[in-house]
Chains A and B, each alone.
Chain A
Amino acid sequence: MQDVPKIVLNRLQETAGAEAHPDADLLTAFAEQSLGESERTGVMAHLAGCKDCREIVTLALPASEAAAVSASASAARTGWLGWSVLRWSVALAGIIAIASFGIVQYRQRQKSESFGSNLTARNEPAATAVQSFPQSPAPSKSQSVILPAQNDKQAAKEKRPPPRGGWQPDSTDYFSSTQQAHQANRATPAAGVIHGAASGGVAGGNFALGAGSGAPVAPKAAPPSPSNTPTIVGDLKNATPEETAKLEPSLRRGQVAGAPSSAQTVEVAPQSAGVTATAESQATDQIIENQKEQVSQYQSSATLGVVEAQGAATMSNLELATPRWSINTEGGLQRSFDGGKTWVEVNPDLVASRTGNAHNFPWKKKAEVQGSPHPVFRAVSAAGTEVWAGGSAAMLYHSVDSGLHWARVVPSESGAVLTGEITSVEFSDSQHGRIATSASEVWITANDGKTWRRQ
């Protein structure tokens, strides 16, 4: 260590503390580091010039002071370092925790997206498959049928590639044994169903007016319904609320984009063995009771076009989405829950019962379907959950729950019934409607089809 010049030490020695020596209290407080800054400075100034006082302070230090001072100094240094390390450790731990939380959230989001993409990935063109209805343990239970998403014959005929996405039935789904089940781009509803007669309802929906040509109408993009949880279950009896809830996302994701076409035609034929479809369920009753709750506004047009039904009836138990409706070239009535990406044919004839003069809504009436072919529709009109569909042989069907249940309507007046093929159906509101037939007949109603009058 470098020495200071001697002159410095000499001068330092001569600068004695002229002040009075600090008393024992002051020196003790100085030794114990308990003096204030100003007092400490004054004591140090005296000590710098007073050898005796320096000696006293040194002698008064306790024997453990050396260890305590060094320990405190090291502890202070360690503590300072420890605090610094702890501070940065806490900060680092916080950053790690936030990052971990973000990663977990990201993975969860990816999982949910992959779940949807997996469902979409299942919508791949598949070979024709024939599946049979599983043996139902109870014959009273309705059989759910899956609507094949694609008709290979149709596709071959139309030479259209199968659309992407869509539903794809799985082994748990039910198919008509007599029917060619076409798997194309449709996700299989978890409940395995959807279908005209017993299928779940969708409130409102977009639909197309079928013209005489029966050409399919490209559906317009429909605004997403706020509460779209369609219950697309073929039979509410078979489907639990959980399955119903599961069904909705699969339906949404599984449907392909694109206009309804013959390639997407879904044909369902009742099983020869006899498919008992029942429209009886508690949920159905509730749906029916709530069918008139919400007034829907819609635009209808006599020309071809997708009619967007605005508004959706809210069900007490089931939230139904607003589907779109269209008619394919085969005359099949189609419904889409995903804005036209995928279409499912609906066969109102499965559960509809023929009515007489009055418009009857035999919702609780069981109907047996015995291999009757689906009607050839020519026109459809939908407003909210209410759907009117008409076609050949004066067939007119009405549903108030977006196709969950149907009723056959036969307009008549004074014994005269509607004849010919219904070529157009127009409803300006929920009450007033107009039907035109190929026999140049025009029938109107002002009470939602309860009574009709021929113009």
Chain B
Amino acid sequence: MEELALARACANGDNSAWEIFLTRYREKLYQAALRIAREDSAARELADSLYAELYGVSTREGQRVSKLASFTGRGSLEGWLRTVLAQEFVNRYRRTKRLVSLDEEIEEGAQFAARETEPGSSGNSRLESCTDAELAALSSEDRLVLAAYYLDGRTLAEVARMLGVHESTISRKVDKLAKSLRKKIVAGMMRQGVDRRAAEEALEVDVRDLQVNIRRSLGQESPGATFLEKKDALRLQQKIAPRAKN
């Protein structure tokens, strides 16, 4: 309640409240920015830009607009400030990085492929439908764990921190999900009339991987490598990559 009152006072332009706010949170905000940006200059810039938004330098219809006005007190003010800081960082620096990366990639001669169209293979459609069904059957937490661990490449500790559980819990959950999903997808495909062997092979090989591999092979690979060898090399590379992040 006190934090909410302070935030409201700051949003209303109370200088004394703002003084109090700076006294309490200035250093914390900078430390959070430093942890996010991992660079001192970027952290200071990030923190200073947030101060301006919190104070309300911008106006709308003649009234000062302060970001602190959006604080509703559901969480702590310090945590809210970190979240806002992280949002600012993601919005600003990801855009900047994308732009930078795009320019860099163009200079390096990278080719940007068009959006891949899903193959119309019946096997893949059955596989996809079974996969979607099994993913939909998972809880939101399980899907979050899979996404954070496999897609984001987060460590088990980071995922555990996000969910507020112990690392061993995430480890057991990931292992359990990996085993159960495979079995359930194969079972689902078998119910649709697909042979078990075929289902397992389909699960192992993604046709889209073949397409990507062909493109890469055509653009970069040496002429000596066969299609299968390139496919195997790429599959191995992609399997190793997530493990390296752990």
Contact = CB atoms under 8 A, between A and B. Distances in A.
Nearest to B143: A48
B147 A54 contact: yes
A34 B36 contact: no
A137 interface: no
Q: How large is the interface on A (under 10, 10 to 19, 20 to 34, 35 or more residues)?
A: 35 or more
Nearest to A47: B144
A273 B138 CA distance: 112
Contacts of A26: 74
Contacts of A54: 144, 147-148, 152, 162
Interface residues of B, number: 69
Contacts of B181: 4-5, 8
B84 interface: yes
A74 interface: yes
B128 interface: yes
Contact of B152 (A55, A69, A77): A55
Interface in A154-206: none
B179 interface: yes
B141 interface: yes
By secondary structure, the A interface counts as: helix
Nearest to B78: A62
Interface in B130-176: 131-132, 134-135, 139-141, 143-144, 146-148, 150-152, 154, 157-158, 160-162, 164-167, 171, 174-175
A438 to B, nearest CB: 108
B180 to A, nearest CB: 10
B71 interface: yes
A218 interface: no
B161 A66 contact: yes
A4 B150 CA distance: 8
Contact of A25 (B72, B134, B171, B185): B72
B41 to A, nearest CB: 18
Nearest to A24: B83
Interface in A20-67: 23-29, 31-35, 41-42, 44-45, 47-49, 51-52, 54-63, 65-66
Contact of A58 (B72, B131, B146, B158): B158
A31 B144 CA distance: 14
Contacts of A47: 140, 144, 147-148
Most chain A CB atoms below 10 A, which of B162, B171, B178:
B162
A51 B154 CA distance: 11
A54 B238 CA distance: 22
A31 B83 contact: yes
Nearest to A72: B164
A6 B209 contact: yes
Given A10-B206, A25-B72, A45-B140, A5 B185 contact: yes
A41 B139 CA distance: 8
Nearest to B159: A58
B135 A8 contact: yes
Contacts of B160: 69-70, 73
Interface in B2-29: none
A82 to B, nearest CB: 16
A30 B135 CA distance: 23
A2 interface: yes
A359 B154 CA distance: 117
Contacts of B162: 31, 54, 57-58, 61
Nearest to A44: B140
B167 A60 contact: no
Given A25-B80, A27-B83, A11 B132 contact: yes
B131 A7 contact: yes
Interface in B194-209: 203-204, 206, 208-209
A34 to B, nearest CB: 6
Contact of A74 (B74, B166, B246): B166
B239 A3 contact: yes
B32 A62 contact: yes
B31 interface: yes
Given A44-B140, A45-B143, A49-B147, A25 B70 contact: yes
A341 to B, nearest CB: 76
B76 interface: yes
A55 B140 contact: no
B35 interface: yes
Nearest to B71: A25
A282 to B, nearest CB: 82
A73 B163 CA distance: 11
B230 interface: no
Interface stretch (B58-66, B86-94, B221-229): B86-94
Nearest to A27: B83
A56 B88 CA distance: 9
5 contacts: A5-B204, A7-B131, A26-B74, A28-B74, A51-B151
Interface of B: 31-32, 35-36, 70-76, 78-80, 82-87, 89-90, 94, 127-128, 131-132, 134-135, 139-141, 143-144, 146-148, 150-152, 154, 157-158, 160-162, 164-167, 171, 174-175, 177-179, 181-182, 185, 203-204, 206, 208-209, 238-239, 242-243, 246
A-B pairs, top 6 by smallest CB distance, nearest first, are A28-B75, A59-B86, A48-B143, A45-B140, A73-B166, A44-B140
Given A28-B75, A63-B35, A66-B157, 17 more contacts: A3-B239, A4-B146, A8-B181, A12-B150, A12-B151, A24-B84, A51-B147, A57-B162, A59-B85, A59-B90, A60-B82, A60-B86, A61-B161, A70-B157, A70-B167, A73-B160, A77-B166
